[in-house]
């Protein structure tokens, strides 16, 4: 069982600014000592520190929990970079699993993979090769639902690589139209089997779900944006209209006005007829608030009419577990009802995959300015997420860990415990299947959330602007630094220092790009730098 996170009473007392190489060597040394290196791909443990120094933006802060997990997640991420005859890809499981595609590939978390990889200094080559694998190689992008086109669009904006996104535009369109052929219903919404949303054995089950519908609205809007970059205005207009239509249906049909939440309209077959179109008439055994109801915010699909949904997030009767965010509300009769032998159920356990999506949704909501989520809410959940990254061994030692799903109240890794009880069955993936599981993101939440980094088109539409708008104010994080961060075709160094007594750049926010220094010492600093 993990140690449940307790709120920080005091931050680390500022001392000498630590040398980046020493920080990374210290963390990697601890991670390597505790590691049972079972499945080695391109970058073994012995090369991890050198890889992290070369590739990962350096992050240090007053909260050693967040700092440690930031580096732990880069340490686990590099384990999943693997060379194939079709180039480098990013894996989800380290051991081979029978439900994977070529080279043990699985597409369901590739949106998370790309969100992380875009911040690596060699991320351009890695993301390009990975995207080509899914759209022009043997990768099965239709195996699970995903927001992959949206993720590639965000990568292209971050790294000024729009030409690459445009080169895949026709592939994106073919992908979208194939999903329409397979999953579109008479209701104008996409149908999905919960297992293919990577959310097997959920309470709501299959139907018109906020998952695939939100992903496809985001993918359509991304296609429209990329089409504009490529000068294909008619295609952009077509996909803008698709995104608008789907967004309207999500807002109206999947929103339970009485329950104040986005929910699933149950439908067991794509070509079937809904038993109920009003949530008041939905079978109570499947009428439930699930964490997937926050996904529309992740892609800016919700509006001010839906803000009430956020009040359920920290409520212990709903999603607020003691250790993490539940995937289904605790008050439902089928919460954590293990009515099947499946080790990976989504009927209440905390899943890092879903927690990442909810934190992404919180970032988008904070940026919207509507007020449904406060910066303190995001920092609370980010710290709680960081705190689950441990496991207590049989000897009682607490070690750094990431796995599949966990009990949201105790922090125990449910899937691992079940697989161990089954004596690591080969048909379930074998020994320590979920160890170092690459099914979620963390570094991106620090970079785009805590530090508030994004790259967006400027007003002229001919260039981009680096925006640094931290969610963490000085009371939430009195000092932090993020340096060697690739943005556009250059790198940025960012420092925040509440009192100005730690880094030597003065109080407030400092951003240095191409030798130019930008500073904001206001209470809520924000800096925008044309790239």
pLDDT score of 15: 62
Helix (H) or strand (E) run with residue 376 in it:
helix 375-387
Decide if 251 is inside a domain.
yes
Mean pLDDT of the chain: 95
What pLDDT, in 10s, does the model give residues 365-379? 999 999 999 999 999
The answer to whether 319 and 287 are in contact (CB under 8 A) is no
Q: How many CB atoms lie within 10 A of CB 476?
A: 21
pLDDT score of 86: 98
pLDDT score of 5: 35
Decide if 426 is inside a domain.
no
Decide if 30 is inside a domain.
no
pLDDT score of 11: 54
CA dihedral sign of residues 316, 391, 437, 43: positive
Q: Average pLDDT of 284-299?
A: 98
pLDDT score of 342: 85
Pairing relationship of beta strands 58-61 and 87-90 according to DSSP bridges: unpaired
Burial of residue 142 (number of CB atoms within 10 Å: 0-12, 13-18, 19+): middle
More reliable by pLDDT, 315 or 459: 315
Q: At what angle do helices 210-229 and 169-183 cross, to 10 degrees?
A: 150
Tokens of 59: 């992050």
Decide if 214 is inside a domain.
yes
- DSSP E strand boundaries for 181-288: 207-208, 255-256, 261-262, 265-266
475 pLDDT tier (thresholds 50, 70, 90): confident
What pLDDT, in 10s, does the model give residues 109-158? 999 999 999 999 999 999 999 999 999 999 999 999 999 999 999 999 99
Q: How many helices (H) and strands (E) does the chain have?
A: 15, 16
pLDDT at 171 over 60: yes
Q: Average pLDDT of 516-526?
A: 96
Domain C-terminal end among 271, 295, 319: 295
Which residues constitute the domain of residue 254?
Answer: 145-295
What pLDDT, in 10s, does the model give residues 326-344? 999 999 999 998 767 789 9
Q: How far apart are CA 342 and CA 386, in angstroms?
A: 26
By mean pLDDT, which of 13-27, 169-183, 386-400, 515-529 is the weakest?
Answer: 13-27
Apex CA 177: angle with CA 171 and CA 180, to 5°?
145
Closest CA to 265 of 182, 313, 209: 209
Cα-trace Rg, the chain: 22
Tokens of 249: 């249906």
Decide if 361 is inside a domain.
no
Task: Please name the residue ranges forming H helices in 137-232.
Answer: 148-158, 162-167, 169-183, 210-229
Tokens of 245: 């239509």
255 pLDDT tier (thresholds 50, 70, 90): very high
pLDDT score of 27: 97
Tokens of 110: 């590739």
Q: How far apart are CA 154 and CA 115, in angstroms?
A: 8
**How many angstroms separate the Cα of 305 from the Cα of each of 73, 251, 259, 261, 302?**
36, 9, 13, 10, 8
The CATH number covering residue 280 comes to 1.50.10.10
Decide if 285 is inside a domain.
yes
Apex CA 265: angle with CA 309 and CA 305, to 5°?
30
Decide if 271 is inside a domain.
yes
Tokens of 195: 């297992």
Q: Average pLDDT of 15-33?
A: 92
The DSSP letter of residue 285 is T
Q: Average pLDDT of 490-507?
A: 95
Decide if 420 is inside a domain.
no
SS3 percent helix, strand, coil of the chain, rounded to 5, is 40, 15, 45
pLDDT score of 60: 97
pLDDT at 1 over 70: no
pLDDT score of 6: 40
Question: What values do phi and psi take at 530, rounded to 5?
Answer: -60, 140
Domain C-terminal end among 260, 295, 330: 295
pLDDT at 320 over 60: yes
Q: How far apart are CA 71 and CA 73, in angstroms?
A: 5
pLDDT score of 56: 98
How many domains, the chain?
A: 2
pLDDT at 9 over 60: no
Domain C-terminal end among 280, 295, 310: 295
13 pLDDT tier (thresholds 50, 70, 90): low
């Amino acid at each position: 069982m993990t140690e449940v996170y307790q709120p920080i009473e005091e931050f680390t007392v500022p001392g000498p600014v630590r040398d980046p190489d020493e920080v990374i060597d210290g963390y990697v040394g601890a991670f390597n000592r505790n590691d049972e290196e079972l499945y080695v791909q391109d970058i073994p443990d012995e090369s991890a520190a050198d890889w992290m120094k070369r590739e990962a933006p350096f992050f240090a802060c007053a909260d050693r929990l967040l700092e440690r997990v930031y580096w732990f997640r880069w340490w686990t991420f590099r384990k999943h970079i693997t060379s194939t005859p079709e180039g480098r890809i990013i894996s989800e499981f380290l051991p081979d699993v029978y439900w994977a595609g070529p080279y043990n590939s699985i597409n369901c978390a590739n949106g998370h993979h790309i969100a992380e990889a875009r911040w690596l200094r060699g991320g351009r080559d890695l993301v390009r090769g990975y995207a080509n694998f899914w759209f022009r190689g043997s990768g099965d992008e239709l195996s699970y639902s995903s927001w992959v086109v949206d993720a590639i669009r965000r990568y292209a904006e971050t790294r000024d690589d729009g030409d690459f996104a445009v080169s895949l535009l026709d592939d994106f369109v073919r992908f979208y139209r194939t999903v329409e052929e397979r999953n579109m219903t008479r209701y104008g919404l996409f149908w999905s089997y919960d297992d293919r949303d990577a959310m097997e054995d959920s309470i709501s089950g299959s139907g018109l779900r906020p998952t695939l519908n939100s992903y496809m609205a985001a993918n359509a809007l991304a296609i429209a944006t990329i089409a504009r970059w490529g000068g294909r205005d008619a295609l952009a207009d077509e996909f803008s209209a698709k995104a608008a239509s789907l967004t309207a249906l999500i807002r109206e049909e999947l929103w339970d006005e009485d329950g104040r939440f986005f929910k699933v309209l149950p439908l067991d077959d794509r070509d079937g007829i809904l038993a109920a179109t009003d949530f008041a008439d939905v079978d109570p055994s499947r009428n439930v608030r699930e964490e997937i109801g926050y996904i529309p915010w992740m892609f800016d699909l919700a509006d001010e009419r839906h803000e009430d949904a956020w009040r359920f997030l920290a409520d212990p009767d709903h999603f607020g577990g003691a250790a993490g965010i539940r995937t289904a509300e605790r008050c439902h009769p089928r919460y954590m009802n293990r009515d099947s032998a499946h080790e990976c159920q989504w009927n209440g356990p905390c899943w890092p995959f879903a927690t990442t999506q909810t934190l992404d949704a919180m970032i988008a909501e904070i940026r919207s300015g509507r007020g449904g989520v406060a910066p303190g809410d995001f920092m609370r959940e980010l710290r709680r997420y960081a705190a689950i990254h441990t496991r207590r061994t049989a000897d009682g030692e607490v070690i750094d860990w990431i796995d599949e799903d966990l009990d949201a109240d105790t922090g125990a890794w449910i899937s691992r415990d079940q697989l161990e009880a089954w004596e690591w069955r080969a048909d379930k993936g074998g020994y320590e299947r979920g160890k170092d599981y690459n099914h979620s993101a963390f570094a991106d939440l620090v970079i785009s959330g805590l530090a508030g980094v994004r790259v967006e088109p400027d007003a002229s539409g001919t260039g981009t602007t680096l925006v640094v708008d931290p969610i963490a104010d000085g009371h939430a994080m009195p000092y932090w630094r993020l340096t060697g961060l690739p943005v556009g075709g250059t790198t940025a160094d960012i420092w925040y220092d509440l009192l100005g007594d730690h880094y030597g750049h003065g109080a407030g926010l400092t951003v240095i790009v191409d030798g130019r220094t930008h500073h904001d010492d206001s209470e809520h600093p924000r800096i925008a730098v044309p790239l």
